[in-house]
Amino acid sequence: MTFDNSLLTSFLNDCNIKYQVEDGLVSFEYDQRFFCGTISSLAPFDSCLSMILPGLCEVSPFDAKTYLKFINKLNDEMDLVKFVLNERNNSIYVEASIPLDSSPELDDLVPGLVKVLLAAHDKFTAAHQ
């Protein structure tokens, strides 16, 4: 997989949003939340914009199976996002990806993915209570 985050970093620069790039991920604060994003080549698409909303909740190893069942149910209910249990740091995050055409407009795509991720966060929170 190759990464070319120049479109994303250019968009963030144009919006005066500070960011950091590490290991192919661009971390930034947007709409008062922290996100990670990347533009990568991912078969079968030439390029794809992926965004992650990390840290929905921390999970103890004891509760991991329960949370896996919970997020699998949410994944079945929601088409545009994927909830993931990160076993490295025992936390749940949600991600969304969209294929890019030859002239992507990140002015629409980034805010759109942010809204999708925040809606997924709200659904996670409502179902978790």
pLDDT at 23: 87
pLDDT at 72: 94
- 91-94, long-range: CB within 8 Å, 24+ apart, which pairs? 91/54, 91/55, 91/56, 91/57, 91/58, 91/59, 92/56, 92/57, 92/59, 92/67, 92/124, 93/52, 93/53, 93/54, 93/55, 93/56, 94/52, 94/53, 94/56, 94/120, 94/121, 94/124
What are the residue ranges spanned by the domains of the chain?
6-128
pLDDT at 2: 62
pLDDT at 1: 55
Residues of the chain with pLDDT under 70: 1-3
pTM metric for this prediction: 0.89
Tell me whether strands 45-58 and 82-86 are parallel, antiparallel or unpaired: unpaired
Contact 21, 9 (CB under 8 A): yes
CATH number of 6-128: 3.30.1460.70
